[in-house]
Structure 1
Amino acid sequence: MTDRVEPRPLRADARRNRDRVLAAAQEAFAAEGISVPLDEIARRAGVGAGTVYRHFPTKEALFEAAITDRVERMIAYARELATAADPGKAFFDFLDRMATEGTVKRDLAEAVGVDSPEHRKPAHDLRVAIAQLLTHAQQSGAVRRDIDIDDLMRVVKGTFLAANSANTTANQRRRAFAIVFDGLRAH
């Protein structure tokens, strides 16, 4: 057995810089895709290119970190809603935020269906958190009982893909998700 050395925690200023780089990267990747240069991300974050490279040696590493960060934030939000007094409202609030974030942030839409080693744990944790919201909403009578988490994830992923297709307007995206949400409601 080999001893695993845990990385040292970042100093507060280094953590702030890393967070600024991640936020700038998420914004840039959402707007322009992965083709945005790292120097542009550094400029948007208000740091030097060396700071970006110190935290993220490649653009791919930065993209992976941006996806993971976004998914972890969605997991935290889902867990926060898991004990809400109105499980149906909590479920649809979560889906609404996921739809909004996913259509604006391509990385979240990508992460919903991703199957890479770096994303397996966060994707699994997101799925578990969503399943819990779904189960609570079904038990409260707000969501139809004839779907399971696999059905829900397929529908969400398919809607993300359609909502992010070329020439789709914001109004069309909203309508697509409204139709999906209506179809999930118990009648």
Structure 2
Amino acid sequence: MTRPPARPRRADALRNYERLLAAAAEAFAEHGPQAPLDDIARAAGVGNATLYRHFPTRQALLEAVYHDHIQSLCRRAEDLASAPQPAAALMSWLKGVVAQGSAAHGLAASLMAAMEGPAESWCRKAVSDAGAALLARAQEAGEIRIDITVRQLLKLVNAIALATEDEPKPEEADLIFDILLNGLRTPSGQRAEA
């Protein structure tokens, strides 16, 4: 599994790294995860070689830009791991994924790209593991359908975030998320097989 690139130690290299992150964050927010890397390097005032020295792949750059958001989602999942109501904990976490994806322009598209990207991606593993633990608890409690995978859930919530990130009414994401919830719950009287 790849790890996010480490911050450089030399002052000049650190300045370039931070300028690249700032330029990439702006480009991804405006153009999505497919923003041209040449444009990012140019906006940061560095050459392509400097960009690739710090971030050998587009995915590495995406994960560095959204590192704090991803870490926040993972910490939130850990906090909810022992909540007394497993389904409510899962829903709370998923709603947080939607909220962060809607607020941080480009994050939802980047997370969707990570879900489709290389299996060894740090971002993909971190987010999938965080959600899988919450999903498993809710399924074991018989509160969430057993035929749903964490990958499917993440695709759905990232699609909601992506579809609503430019929505002038923030409650639109909540409404669509509530519709999703009704499809996730185990129908009353039907429990998971032991």
Runs of 4 or more, structure 1, over 6 Å off, are none
* TM-score (norm: length of structure 2): 0.61
Q: Is the 8 A contact 2:101 2:161 kept in 1?
A: no
Match of residue 67 from structure 1: 62
Could you say which structure has the greater relative contact order, defined with CA pairs below 8 angstroms and 6 or more residues apart? 2
Question: Per-residue displacement from partner, 1:36-78 (whole Å, max 9, x unpaired)?
Answer: 8225642xxxxxx238853x228x8463223323365266335
Separation in 2, partners of 1:61, 1:170: 36
Q: Is the 8 A contact 2:111 2:158 kept in 1?
A: no
Secondary structure of the corresponding residue to residue 50 of structure 1: coil
Separation in 1, partners of 2:158, 2:28: 16
Aligned length: 169
RMSD across aligned positions (CA): 4.1
Q: Any unmatched runs of 5+ in structure 1?
A: 1-6, 43-48
Q: Does 1:129 align with 2:141?
A: no
Secondary structure of the corresponding residue to residue 124 of structure 1: helix
Separation in 2, partners of 1:160, 1:79: 16
Q: Is the 8 A contact 2:73 2:93 kept in 1?
A: no
Q: Is the 8 A contact 1:88 1:137 kept in 2?
A: yes
Listed as ranges, the matches of 1:31-180 within 5 Å are 31-33=30-32, 34-35=35-36, 37-38=39-40, 41-42=43-44, 49-50=45-46, 54=50, 56-57=51-52, 61=56, 63-69=58-64, 70=66, 72-73=70-71, 76-77=74-75, 79-86=77-84, 87-103=86-102, 104=105, 105=107, 106-112=109-115, 114-116=116-118, 119=121, 121-140=122-141, 143-149=143-149, 152-158=150-156, 160-161=158-159, 164=162, 169=167, 171=169, 172-180=172-180
Separation in 1, partners of 2:59, 2:79: 26
More helix by share: 1
